[in-house]
């Protein structure tokens, strides 16, 4: 009869370190597996980013012809075509033309539409995009407003008011003066939407 069989407590004492070592090794293996998965995901993400950067570097910027003058008239025409009043254009501030690299120039303007509802703004932007593709809406800032209808009192429910917004837009156009310009296409600029809290 062996010593372990005579003394079961000695067997248990011998097994405890073995179990602890196995648990520790298993935990290390799981941690290593998780780190490997994270590293693989990170590698895939970096690879996609590098491919996108290479694609952008090899892409020639597209440009439209120089936009016609009288931006306010163009905005007014788009408002009318969208079934809105030209008086919604309350401010227009053209910016100075700037150079973008050796071949291109950028023209921009900031304009304010108010008071306008969000559905009406959507109609205007749809018309503007289809009729003035050379202009890109680069940014939109929407500020909520509440315009009370004539005859409504301060204590009346909000249902008696017309909910409108003030919209500030930045529109821009990238163009070239060279006769060998690239084919006309609207500049794809990432738009940002900012909603101001009342």
Phi, psi (degrees; rounded to nearest 5) at 41: -65, -40
SS3 194: strand
Of all residues in the chain, what percent are helix, strand and coil, respectively (each to 5)?
A: 45, 30, 30
**pTM of the entire predicted model:** 0.54
Residues 98-127 have pLDDT tens digits of 888 788 889 999 999 999 999 999 999 999
Taking a C-beta distance cutoff of 8 angstroms, is the pair 174, 63 a contact?
yes
Domain span including residue 152: 71-195
Q: What's the CATH code of the domain at 78?
A: 3.30.70.60
Q: What is the mean pLDDT of the chain?
A: 75
Q: Are residues 53 and 134 in the same domain?
A: no
Q: Domains in the chain: how many in total? A: 2
């Amino acid at each position: 009869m062996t010593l372990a069989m005579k003394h079961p407590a000695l067997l248990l004492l011998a097994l405890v370190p073995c179990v602890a070592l196995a648990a520790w090794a298993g935990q290390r293996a799981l941690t290593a597996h998780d780190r490997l998965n994270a590293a693989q995901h990170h590698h895939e993400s970096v690879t996609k980013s590098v491919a996108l950067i290479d694609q952008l570097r090899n892409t020639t910027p597209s440009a439209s012809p120089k936009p016609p003058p009288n931006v306010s008239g163009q905005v007014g025409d788009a408002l009318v075509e969208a079934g809105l009043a030209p008086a919604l254009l309350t401010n227009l501030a053209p910016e100075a033309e700037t150079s973008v690299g050796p071949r291109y120039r950028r023209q921009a303007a900031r304009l304010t539409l108010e008071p306008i509802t969000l559905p009406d703004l959507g109609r205007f932007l749809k018309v503007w995009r289809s009729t003035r593709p050379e202009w890109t809406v680069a940014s939109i800032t929407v500020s909520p407003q509440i315009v009370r209808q004539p005859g409504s009192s301060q204590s009346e429910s909000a249902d008696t008011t017309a909910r409108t917004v003030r919209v500030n837009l930045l529109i821009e156009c990238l163009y070239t003066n060279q006769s060998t310009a690239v084919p006309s296409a609207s500049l794809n600029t990432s738009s940002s939407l900012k909603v101001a809290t009342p």
